[in-house]
Amino acid sequence: MTKFSDTQAIILSTAANRDGQIALPLPDSLRGGAAAKVIGAMLAKGFLEEVEADMRNGEPVWRETGDGNGVTLVATDTGLAAIGIEANSAETTPAEDSAPKMRTPREGTKQAKLIAMLRAESGATIEEIVAALDWKAHTARGAMSGALKKKLGLTITSEKVDGRGRVYAIRD
């Protein structure tokens, strides 16, 4: 398993959601020598790569090369894989390229188990999720609204079922 800091994970996950997987701008809390150290480590591990910045289109610049050009930072397939995101290495058409990139959860994680429970024909209640995943109720609700809805783009429905209470489900 690849080890990386929380800061590196934030940089990679933010880059995964940006056009061109550009890692800049960095988090506000990361400046100066600390930024250089973190980025240097990520470049050495192959999580990021330096590419020529398209300054005419306003791409952010990590460093200038001295000849009037700039370099920006882009997350690599290796970097995305390190945080559990499958890179789309296939060639895409312009229409596919403009579609938002959807994340793919890693198998065997609590998130994957939650998705399986919600995709089941009967769905799942908060109580069932809490018991199966050893979570608190607020964690289960947060995972559904944050990770599943916002980050993965899944549609979660909820309905009141007699004898069970509120049942949540993913209906594709």
- Picking from 98, 128, 148, the residue at the C-terminal end of a domain is 98
pLDDT in tens, 117-149: 999 999 999 999 999 999 999 999 988 888 888
- Out of 36, 69, 98, pick the residue that ends a domain: 98
CA atoms within 13 A on the CB side of 90: 4
CATH code of the domain containing 128: 1.10.10.10
Judge whether 144 lies within some domain: yes
List beta partners, residue 125: 167
Three-state DSSP string of 7-58: HHHHHHHHHHCCHHHECCCCCCCCCHHHHHHHHHHHHHHCCEEEEECCHHHC
CATH of the domain at 72: 1.10.10
Please give the C-alpha separations between residue 47 and each of 43, 135, 141, 165, in angstroms, as whole numbers. Answer: 6, 31, 32, 45
Tens of pLDDT, residues 62-84: 888 777 778 889 988 888 888 88
pTM of the model: 0.48
Mean model confidence pLDDT for the chain: 81
* Percent of the chain's residues with pLDDT above 70: 85
Domain check: are 57 and 116 in the same one?
no
Structural domain total, the chain: 2
Identify the domain containing residue 43 by its residue range: 6-98
The partner residues of 161 in beta bridges, in order of sequence, read 165
Cα angle for residues 26, 20, 99 (degrees, 5° grid)? 120
Residue range 10-46, pLDDT digits in tens? 888 888 888 888 888 888 888 888 888 998 888 888 8
Task: Indicate if 50 and 94 belong to the same structural domain.
Answer: yes
Q: Which pLDDT score is estimated for 94?
A: 39
